[in-house]
Amino acid sequence: MPLSNFRFAKLSYLFRLMDLDGDDILSPADFDEMARRAAENQDKSAEGELHKRLINSSAKRYYKRLIEALEITGTQIRLSDWLNYFREMDEEDDVEMDSVIQFFLEFFYGVFDVDKDGFISLYESMELFQLFGLPLEKSKTFFKDLDSNADGHVSRYELMNAVEVFLTSDDPEERGNWVFGEFDY
């Protein structure tokens, strides 16, 4: 079965968001660019330097995890590979999809939970927006949508639900669809 227009639009949008160098391919170069931008956003404190080193060393590892999660044997991910993955997964049970959700959890917590308290704060979520070039003024709304119990932090559980909705839902009313910002559909 083909993907609905809505899912096609949002999955393509997420792909382009991650394709930071805009060459229509997800490759280690995009993750290097992510690391470079993250380092640029850091202050010059010792903590900032440590964060920079951590991000640099793990950028390639994250890319490898994504390729494994998508079960791609080559070294690059084209938009068609990415969309095909979700098309095929719809026909199987969602056990395999879990590995892509796990990738995003590991990635977001690894990169953005700077103080390692197990939650993403509003401030930490702003870094995410900056990194992907999303409008910062939208980050507060985005954060409120993610923080479903409104305790001022985004827990793993809250993030996991949002990512799952994003990857699988056909209902634009579900808030998780907007976890990566706004897109047209």
CB of 77 to Ca ion, least distance (A): 9
Least distance in Å: CB of 78 to Ca ion? 10
Minimum separation from the CB atom of position 114 to Ca ion (A): 6
Q: Shortest distance, CB of residue 4 to Ca ion, whole angstroms?
A: 26
Nearer to Ca ion, 23 or 71 (CB): 23
Nearest distance from C-beta of residue 154 to Ca ion, angstroms: 9
State the Rg of the chain over Cα: 16
In terms of CB distance, is 32 or 113 closer to Ca ion?
113
Residues 136, 126 contacting (CB under 8 angstroms):
yes
3-state secondary structure at position 180: coil
Q: What is the rounded CA–CA span in Å between residue 26 and residue 122?
A: 28
Identity of the residue, 18 or 97, whose beta carbon is nearer to Ca ion in the bound complex: 18
Partners of residue 77 on adjacent β-strands: 26
Helix axes 46-69, 28-41, angle to 10 degrees: 160
Nearest to Ca ion of 19, 158 (CB atom): 19
How many angstroms separate the Cα of 113 from the Cα of each of 92, 101, 127, 146, 166? 33, 17, 10, 15, 21
Residues lying near Ca ion in the complex (CB under 5 A): 19, 21, 23, 25, 30, 113, 115, 117, 119
Report the SS3 class of residue 61. Answer: helix
At position 160, the amino acid (one-letter code) is M
Residue 97 or 120: the one with the smaller Cβ distance to Ca ion is 120
